[in-house]
Chain A
């Protein structure tokens, strides 16, 4: 998955929204919702730009955000000038996102903004990169050699090697040399068996640490980041241990490096490079062009080189409504096929049945692909989360262990993208407000390193995502004070902890005492809550002072694939999620109902059972032999009695709407292969 591409698409969407906001705002300068929206859009752009190293975008968005912050706080009035400014910024931002050089224009605009704001000190602070604007080193590129020797089990560890390389390529200009390519690289990938060693020459503005960050998930012995300061570094111990370079190879590398980074010095160290004059710049640009030409001529058979451009995965973003439509049509197709079969019944020729079978297989494959397109495991977010945690904890001087669990839980694609912003926000909050500084933690007899847990699981008809920290916990006194300050409650007004949590999640509430890049300002829990509510989820908080907090997001399953057991009760079929089935066996009806106590003996334990025939008030005679199914859901066991197990089925969960919700012994329904429907049992609700 190409995050950068996704990010670009996302920002473009947000910029469109921002433009629309401006159009509405133009009609009513006092529209608080549009001002809020504009502020939020800019905030989102700023936040994600930082993560993708679009520092100029980050800076501009930040400056503009200040204006809307002023307007929101009532320190300024929106007017045509502000709108013009914003629209101009939209154009510049979209150019920058497209990779065009708009730095000069951006800087001009930023100075306009600062003039407009004319707040003392502010102009200077942000003009020079500022404390928040993502300071960027002006001095040139650093050069690294990155040598990657993945272990055999890298795919088993769930690592997407391609995306790691991709990420590395995105740090700057790169050249890759593949060693020991006895099997073509593509084939190695396809067979999930990497045998080669990968040598990447990289020229980047990022630090060594940033480069190492790419390999967060790899083991330390699998990669080596070697800073290249002079030619001598090619033969240092680190390099030599992994790759031996002959004279010819050395020359070639020098050429490559020069092409990537014209500043690369043969002898001098980077520190010695002094500011260059315009003439030098021009000369270097020429050299760059020359180097590129040379590179094109430079072909080698033993070492295959790859350029990053060719590696861009081609993806198309599709409106989810179109996907929905496709899934529904495919479901209908399955139904139609069985209708067709039915029509032919009796006078079928062998060649027709053969063709039908072929069609069935194709339809099933089509169905599977259609379903799969929509599902994405949560771990597509892991890298983002991990990087965020690294950078934020460093910035705040906090130490934290990040543990994830259940990242393979699959969610609808639309949910994953909708979840990203709130999840990042919650994590940022946990680091900023939750986890204490190492010193304070020691004082509290906690380990210096904080613990941040991120886990996800399916339970019944919901997916749960929890973010747990072992930090401060919520400070209700502080929340209360803030709420009073903001005029949300009166001074002496009683408010329960639950009330206070709700206040905390209301618009305009933020306990951050100071404006920080980390938690932002004002864009708070209300937005998180709103974002989650938009995908029909809800957010709960449980907290214990000085012990930590757990934020639980509960999401409906909507389009989720379930493995189910199909059971018959009288003339109807019902589905039980296989994950909930612990054991099943048959038993004579008479034997089962012999005793009044209505219990089954399971593993030496007596358990009460629920007969679905009875529960559903079916009057027909039960079969002689019935089936007992022991269900175990979250360690709660229940025994149910059905007629017979009819089979297994992988199926798509369909929610039941409001009208059917009173039948809470069902969590949803599914469409069976023949087009008929079956209800999914929510066994725990059978208990009473």
Chain B
């Protein structure tokens, strides 16, 4: 059996996505978002998580999938991305959490190359569960530019 990794499956703008659990610190309700004027367009604001300022990113905007409609049910996935010796804490807006599943390397299909209505360069692969295709996002690829600037 090939090595399996855990993935968090979620929906965003009626698309289905997954992200490796290793990067996920927690999932919280969107509350107390502070506006940050002059921040890049894809930044929705920042929130306070136990005394740390966490920037909140409109994931849909970040991957060119449109704009996240914020409502009462909007959740924030707090990611902690390790890069070289630095860590980047960031929250991303999602619509809803679906499940957490184990996916083996074998089960992970190559990401679609054609235009899917968003930036497919941010994907690690694709996973089919029942009739749904989940686009597996790579946290590092989504924030590649920001991580590069950190070093």
A677 touches B51 (CB 8 A): no
Residue interface bits A217-253, CB-to-B below 8 A is 1, else 0: 0000000000000000000000000000000000000
How would you classify the secondary structure of chain A's contact residues: helix, strand, loop or mixed?
mixed
Which chain B positions have C-beta within 8 A of A327? 51
Interface residues in B33-53 by Cβ distance below 8 A to A read 34-40, 43, 46-48, 50-53
Within 8 A of B (CB), among A620-640: none
B149 at the interface (CB under 8 A from A): yes
Does B34 lie within 8 Å of A676, measured CB to CB? yes
Q: Is the CB of B38 within 8 A of A663?
A: yes
Min CB–CB distance B36 → chain A (angstroms): 5
**CB-nearest residue of chain B to A655:** B53
* B39 touching A662, Cβ below 8 Å: yes
Q: Are A659 and B90 in contact (CB under 8 A)?
A: yes
- Residue on B nearest A330 in the bound complex, by CB: B51
Q: In the assembled complex, which residues on chain A have CB atoms less than 8 Å from the CB atom of B18?
A: none
| B147 CB contacts on chain A under 8 angstroms | 658
Please tell me if the beta carbons of B48 and A671 are within 8 angstroms of each other in the complex: yes
Q: Does A331 contact B (CB under 8 A)?
A: yes
Pick the contact of A657 from B35, B40, B89 — CB < 8 Å?
A: B89
Residues of A within 8 A of B47 (CB): 677
Contact B55 A657 (CB under 8 A): yes
Partner among A654, A658, A665 whose Cβ is within 8 Å of the Cβ of B150: A658
CA distance A664 to B143 in the complex (A): 19
Measured CA separation A196–B113 after assembly (Å): 85
Judge if A208 is at the interface, Cβ distance under 8 Å.
no
CB–CB A328/B51 < 8 A: yes
Closest A-chain residue to B55, C-beta based?
A: A659
- The size of the chain B interface, using a CB distance under 8 A, is 26
> A residues within 8 A CB of B50?
328-329, 331-332
B51 in contact with A679 (CB, 8 Å): no
Count A/B pairs, Cβ under 8 Å: 84
In residues 653-676 of chain A, which contact B (Cβ within 8 Å)? Answer: 654-666, 668-669, 671, 675-676
Say yes or no: A659-B146 contact (C-beta < 8 A), given A332-B50, A669-B46. yes
Residues of B within 8 Å of A332, CB to CB, are 50-51
For residue B57, CB closer than 8 A to chain A, the reply is: yes
* In the complex, per-residue mask of A9-36: 1 if CB is within 8 Å of any chain B CB, else 0: 0000000000000000000000000000
With contacts A654-B52, A675-B32, A677-B32 taken as known, whether A617 is within 8 angstroms of B46 at the C-beta atoms is no
Known: A616-B38, A676-B32. A659 touches B43 (CB 8 A): yes
Q: Is the CB of A662 within 8 A of B38?
A: yes
For chain A, the count of residues having a C-beta within 8 Å of the partner chain is 31
B55 touches A679 (CB 8 A): no
Most buried by B among A658, A677, A678: A658
Q: Which of B46, B143, B149 contacts A660 (CB 8 A)?
A: B46
Q: Which residue of A lies closest to B56 (CB)?
A: A659
Which residues on the A side are within 8 Å of B89 (C-beta)?
A: 657
Report the Cα distance A668→B55, complex, angstroms: 12
Chain A residues with CB under 8 A of B46:
656, 660, 669, 677
Evaluate whether A660 and B55 lie within 8 angstroms (CB atoms) in the complex, with A666-B36, A669-B34, A677-B46 already known. yes
User: How far, in angstroms, from A213 to B50 measured CA to CA in the complex?
Assistant: 47
Q: What B residues does A277 contact at CB under 8 A?
A: none
Asked if B101 is at the interface (CB within 8 A of a chain A CB), the reply is: no
- Bound-complex Cα distance A235 to B37 (A): 77
Closest A residue by C-beta to B151:
A658
A552 to B90, CA, bound (A): 32
- Could you tell me the distance between the alpha carbons of A663 and B55 in the complex, rounded to whole angstroms? 12
| Residues in B neighbouring A662, C-beta threshold 8 A | 38-40
Complex A-B: 20 CB contacts under 8 Å: A328-B50, A331-B51, A572-B34, A616-B38, A657-B88, A659-B39, A659-B40, A660-B36, A664-B38, A666-B36, A669-B34, A669-B53, A675-B48, A676-B32, A676-B34, A677-B34, A677-B47, A677-B48, A677-B53, A679-B36
Instruction: Name B's A-contacting residues (CB within 8 A).
Output: 32, 34-40, 43, 46-48, 50-53, 55, 57, 88-90, 143, 146-147, 149-150
- Nearest first, the 6 A-B pairs at minimum CB distance are A328-B51, A616-B37, A659-B55, A331-B51, A663-B38, A663-B39
Q: With A656-B53, A668-B53, A669-B53 given, can you name 5 additional A-B contacts, CB distance below 8 Å? A: A659-B39, A662-B40, A663-B36, A675-B48, A676-B34
